[in-house]
Amino acid sequence: MSDSHPDAPKIIVPALVADAMHRHEQACAPREAAGLLAMRGQTVTDFFPVTNQDQSDSSYSIAGADVLTCANQAEARGDRVGGVMHSHPKGPAYPSDTDIREAAASDWVYIITSRGSLNAYLLSAGRVIPLTVSSSPDE
């Protein structure tokens, strides 16, 4: 699933959550899909599909109201919104120059899907840090 270094920081994306992301990706194709991640610790506990305001095949943006709604839902369960997912219908599951430049929250996890693959990154001050993606804590 990931070709990152074995010592890379780890994130847990349960299979049901990954499936939900891929379904949203397929539903939005050929445009970029976007969604938010509910997290507890290093585990993605839920995925909130949202509207890509750009309706574009090469960019995405998420309404502030959607972020608030998802944050409230996550916090009601003791989780938090800790990252964002989007898809690359045309390119690899690797951050684009725009993704790196526009990474708004340096502690957020950025998940990028592309035609069945799923990678996760931290994007901090222009740096791309790949995360090791596991489907369970035991892997």
**DSSP string of 11-33?**
EE--HHHHHHHHHHHHHHTTSPP
Q: How far is the CB of 96 from Zn ion (least distance, A)?
A: 4
How many amino acids of this chain bind Zn ion (CB under 5 A)? Answer: 2
96 contacts Zn ion (rule: CB under 5 A) = yes
Task: Kindly state whether residue 79 participates in binding Zn ion, applying the rule CB under 5 A.
Answer: no
User: Which SS3 state, helix, strand or coil, does residue 25 take?
Assistant: helix
CA 131 to chain centre: 12
Shortest spacing between CB 12 and Zn ion, in angstroms: 22
Tell me how far apart the alpha carbons of residues 115 and 3 are, in angstroms, rounded to a whole number: 17
Query: Is the CB of 96 or the CB of 117 nearer to Zn ion?
Result: 96
Nearer to Zn ion, 45 or 113 (CB): 113
Instruction: Assess 25 for contact with Zn ion (CB under 5 A).
Output: no
Q: Does residue number 124 form part of the binding site for Zn ion (CB under 5 A)?
A: no
Q: Is 99 in the site for Zn ion (CB under 5 A)?
A: yes
Tokens representing 80?
A: 């938090």
Report yes or no: 90 and 58 within 8 Å, Cβ to Cβ.
yes
In the bound complex, what is the minimum distance in angstroms from residue 86's beta carbon to Zn ion?
5
Cis amide linkage into residue 92, ω under 30° from 0: no
Q: Where does this chain bind Zn ion (CB under 5 A)?
A: 96, 99
